[in-house]
Amino acid sequence: MFKSAASIEKLANRLARLPGIGRKSATRLAFHILKLSREDAFELADSIREVKDKVGFCSICNNISESDPCRICSDPQRKQDVICVVEETSDAAAMDKVEEFDGLFHILGGCLSPLDGIGPDDLKIMGLITRLKKGVTEVIIATNPNVEGEATAVYLAGLIRPLGIKVTRIARGLPVGSDLEYADSATLTRAMEGRQEY
């Protein structure tokens, strides 16, 4: 059996720890990095170092940022009284592309998942509750439309409603350009529930 150099094995082992990277992909990446010019390989290493040195989390919304507060929390043009709650930073980035939303975000850092041992204390919920005391009029819950996301949405709504703050949930249903015949019954049910006057 072929055995590559110890340093290649070490790099492949490190790369295999990344999410979505299996052992074969990690080995392929390690060999690709080996083929890079010395300059390109060092630029890659420097980029990783720079991210670790410069990027942190916003103390207000938990978004990743090179400044604290982040650019969204410090933008005076955004609505300060509307907060969209999402599970992860990538969700906030997706929602921020929607021109209809010009409020603030709160990133939970996951969702409730008792089977995985993730409870309310494991998420950034208390920071959200603290923020709500500063003139927030609406919380839009934009957790994923799966069992864990729904459980998280129900839990948050139960905490927020007693504070007299409007709680809304993003609509779910059929994506634009899809065919009804390919949609599952849960998606069709949500599409019917979220129907609007035309």
pLDDT in tens, 13-37: 999 999 999 999 999 999 999 999 9
Q: Residue 146 corresponds to which tokens in the numbers above?
A: 């799966």
Statement to judge: residues 147 and 77 lie in one domain: yes
Give how far Cα 159 sits from Cα of 48, 132, 140, 182, Å: 39, 11, 13, 37
Crossing angle between the packed helical segments 23-35 and 6-16, to the nearest 10 degrees: 130
Q: Report how many domains make up the chain.
A: 2
Confidence (pLDDT) at 1: 36
User: Does the residue 115 lie in any domain?
Assistant: yes
Q: Residue 94 corresponds to which tokens in the numbers above?
A: 């997706």
Statement to judge: residues 76 and 165 lie in one domain: yes
Segment 181-190 mean pLDDT: 76
For residue 157, give its domain range: 72-169
pLDDT digits (tens, 9 = 90+) for 149-161: 989 999 999 999 9
Statement to judge: residues 92 and 162 lie in one domain: yes
User: Does the residue 190 lie in any domain?
Assistant: no
User: Does the residue 137 lie in any domain?
Assistant: yes
pLDDT digits (tens, 9 = 90+) for 107-136: 999 999 988 899 999 999 999 999 999 999
pLDDT digits (tens, 9 = 90+) for 58-75: 999 999 999 999 999 999
Q: Cβ distance 41 to 29 under 8 Å?
A: no
Query: Whole-model pTM?
Result: 0.77
Segment 38-64 mean pLDDT: 95
Question: Which positions ≥6 away from 100 have C-beta within 8 Å?
Answer: none
Q: State how far the Cα of 58 lies from the Cα of 3, in Å rounded to an integer.
A: 45
CATH number at residue 118: 3.40.1360.10
Statement to judge: residues 105 and 28 lie in one domain: no
Average of per-residue pLDDT values in the chain: 89
CATH number at residue 35: 1.10.8.420
In what helix (H) or strand (E) does residue 82 lie, and over which residues does it extend? strand 82-86
Confidence (pLDDT) at 198: 55
User: Does the residue 196 lie in any domain?
Assistant: no
- Tally Cβ neighbours within 10 Å of residue 63: 22
